[in-house]
């Protein structure tokens, strides 16, 4: 990454790690579905204690505590009230997307380290505001992009970093579902802000951008549509009636370093797959054979394509397991960064570029033309 923004967030000097007995006091903002994935991991963490829960829906946090056996916790009607009353080390922001920015900014401004769910935000402007709060607070902010912690995706990055592909110049990525429109708070602008593009598109973009070193996005040409979510033929009538986000998006993004990113993502389509993820380099190519690779899944091994002594060869890369699971890694790596210092596992400086692409695709789709991506100074 070459941008000045990134140098603002470069990690400090590495200190010798000394095992800390500190138990982190944690709270949740939002106790919906994603919060349950954290709660299910909690008995693996003897250094995180859940002390407070908040949710806008009366009684929801109490039920959540009961279900997961969190005793002695305090309950609050919203995240700000919890931050005001508690002395938390960390907060898990598990709200729907449109509440990500206000909740994360409030917590950072009050000196609390934040693990924020994905997508980072709805707009680029919100992402910038969060990063400014992060910078002013000196606290840690990480974002819930657990698919990048999959061992196979780490392998993709290692292969790119090894130089075996030469100069990378073209990436095709995305995927998604033939039928898989979520419901609840995911399908309304008021709560989600964006649809498939933000929900699963953000992962898909993250995985390939991380692999190639998160080059700065320069321009975007975007397309979004909603032919399925709002149609009672494909969605239940009550959900179809309130559906007002995208269920499919496509984009063509120019990245710094003369790299083209060709992308599409779907919650619903009349096709089994919009294609594999491929990374083309001057010395080799990489195929990631999965329409589900946005969530870290690798149903089949990835393949490297190379020319060796004039022969066109293909190699399969052995599949790897991620023994502890991605959700465990997401929480563990964040807690370790808070306890021992260093870079957050998913730094905002990277995800800012991810959000800038999503924002650029939305704006381009609205305008019907290519847009320049302008990223403000933090």
Q: Which residues would be at the binding site for ligand NAD (CB under 6 A)?
A: 29-35, 54-57, 60, 78-79, 94-97, 99, 103, 117-118, 144, 146, 184-185, 199
Find the shortest distance in angstroms from Cβ 327 to ligand NAD.
7
Local structure of 52: helix, strand or coil: strand
Find the shortest distance in angstroms from Cβ 349 to ligand NAD.
19
Residue 325 backbone dihedrals phi, psi, to 5 degrees: 90, 150
Closer residue to ligand NAD, CB minimum distance, 58 or 310: 58
Find the shortest distance in angstroms from Cβ 368 to ligand NAD.
27
CB 93 within 8 A of CB 115: yes
- CA–CA separation, 187 and 56 (whole Å): 19
Residue that the structure tokens 């699971």 belong to:
325
Task: Report the residue closest to ligand NAD, judged by CB.
Answer: 32
Find the shortest distance in angstroms from Cβ 34 to ligand NAD.
4
Closer residue to ligand NAD, CB minimum distance, 79 or 284: 79
- CA–CA separation, 204 and 248 (whole Å): 13
- What b-and-e string marks burial along 138-175, b requiring 16 or more CB atoms within 10 Å of the CB? ebbbbbbbbbbbbebbebbbebbeeeebeebeebbbbb
Find the shortest distance in angstroms from Cβ 72 to ligand NAD.
20
Contacts of 211 (CB under 8 A, 6+ apart): 153, 156, 157, 160, 279
Closer residue to ligand NAD, CB minimum distance, 191 or 231: 191
CB 175 within 8 A of CB 277: yes
Closer residue to ligand NAD, CB minimum distance, 91 or 338: 91
Closer residue to ligand NAD, CB minimum distance, 131 or 187: 187
- CA–CA separation, 132 and 140 (whole Å): 12
Find the shortest distance in angstroms from Cβ 323 to ligand NAD.
19
Closer residue to ligand NAD, CB minimum distance, 29 or 181: 29
Closer residue to ligand NAD, CB minimum distance, 10 or 184: 184
Residue 53 pairs in a beta bridge with 28, 75
Find the shortest distance in angstroms from Cβ 44 to ligand NAD.
17
- At CA 79, angle to CA 40 and CA 103, rounded to 5? 95
Closer residue to ligand NAD, CB minimum distance, 23 or 56: 56
- CA–CA separation, 128 and 6 (whole Å): 13
Find the shortest distance in angstroms from Cβ 243 to ligand NAD.
15
Measuring CA to CA, which residue among 84, 132, 131 is closest to residue 112? 84
Structure tokens at 108: 């950072």
* Cis preceding-peptide flag for 119 (omega within 30 of 0): yes
Closer residue to ligand NAD, CB minimum distance, 35 or 286: 35
- CA–CA separation, 140 and 338 (whole Å): 7
Contacts of 84 (CB under 8 A, 6+ apart): 110
Find the shortest distance in angstroms from Cβ 290 to ligand NAD.
17
Measuring CA to CA, which residue among 259, 200, 225, 222 is closest to residue 360? 222
CB 82 within 8 A of CB 66: no
């Amino acid at each position: 990454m070459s941008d000045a923004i990134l140098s603002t967030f470069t990690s400090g000097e590495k200190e010798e790690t000394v095992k800390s007995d500190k138990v982190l006091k944690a709270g949740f903002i939002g106790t919906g579905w994603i919060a349950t994935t954290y709660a299910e991991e909690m008995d693996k963490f003897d250094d995180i204690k859940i002390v407070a829960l908040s949710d806008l829906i009366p009684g929801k946090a109490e039920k959540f505590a009961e279900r997961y056996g969190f005793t002695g916790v305090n309950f609050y009607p919203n995240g700000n009230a919890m931050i005001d009353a508690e002395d938390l080390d960390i907060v898990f922001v598990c709200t729907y997307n449109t509440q990500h920015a206000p909740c994360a900014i409030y917590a950072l401004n009050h000196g609390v380290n934040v693990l924020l769910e994905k997508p980072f935000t709805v707009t680029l402007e919100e992402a910038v505001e969060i990063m400014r709060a992060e910078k002013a607070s000196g606290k840690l902010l990480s974002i819930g992009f657990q698919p990048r912690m999959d061992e196979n995706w780490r392998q993709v990055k290692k292969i790119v970093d090894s130089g075996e592909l030469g100069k990378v110049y073209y990436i095709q990525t995305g995927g998604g579902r033939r039928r898989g429109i979520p419901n609840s708070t995911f399908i309304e602008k008021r709560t989600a802000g964006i649809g498939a593009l933000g929900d699963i598109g953000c992962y898909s973009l993250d995985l390939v951008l991380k692999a190639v070193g998160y080059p700065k996005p320069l321009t975007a040409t975007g397309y979004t549509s909603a032919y399925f979510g709002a149609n009672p033929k494909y969605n239940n009538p009550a959900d179809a009636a309130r559906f007002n986000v995208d269920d499919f998006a496509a984009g063509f993004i120019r990245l710094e370093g003369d790299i083209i990113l060709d992308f599409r993502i779907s919650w619903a389509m009349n096709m089994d797959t919009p294609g594999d993820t491929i990374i083309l380099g001057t010395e080799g190519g990489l195929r990631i054979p999965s329409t589900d690779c946005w969530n870290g899944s690798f149903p089949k091994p990835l393949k490297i394509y190379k020319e060796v002594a004039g022969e066109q060869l293909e190699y399969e890369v052995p599949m790897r397991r991620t023994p502890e699971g991605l959700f465990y890694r997401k929480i563990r790596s964040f807690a370790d960064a808070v306890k021992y210092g260093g870079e957050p596992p998913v730094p905002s400086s990277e995800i800012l570029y991810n959000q800038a692409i999503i924002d650029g695709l939305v704006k381009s789709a609205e305008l019907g033309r290519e847009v320049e991506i302008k990223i403000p100074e933090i």
